[in-house]
A and B are shown apart, each in its own frame.
Chain A
Amino acid sequence: EIVMTQSPATLSVSPGDKATLSCRASQTIDTDLAWYQQKPGQAPRLLIYHSSTRASGVAARFSGSGSGTEFTLTISSLQSEDCAVYYCQQYHYWPPLTFGGGTNVEI
Chain B
Amino acid sequence: QLQLQESGPGLVKPSETLSLTCSVSGVSITTSDYWGWIRQPPGKGLEWIASIYHTGVRRYNPSLKSRVTMSVDTFEHKFSLTLTSLIAADTAVYYCARMTVGGIFNVWGQGALVAVSS
Contact = CB atoms under 8 A, between A and B. Distances in A.
Nearest to A92: B103
Interface in B68-98: 95
Interface string A64-107: 00000000000000000000000101010011111111100000
B60 A95 contact: yes
B63 A44 contact: no
B57 interface: no
Given A43-B95, A45-B108, A97 B103 contact: yes
Nearest to A97: B48
Interface residues of A, number: 23
A89 B61 CA distance: 14
A96 B106 contact: no
Interface residues of B, number: 21
A87 B111 CA distance: 17
Contacts of A100: 45
Given A32-B102, A46-B104, A99 B110 contact: no
Contacts, number: 59
Main secondary structure of the interface of A (DSSP, over half): loop
Contacts of A96: 48, 61-63
A36 interface: yes
Nearest to A87: B46
Contacts of B61: 95-97
A54 to B, nearest CB: 12
A55 B106 contact: yes
Interface of A: 1, 32, 34, 36, 42-46, 49, 55, 87, 89, 91, 94-102
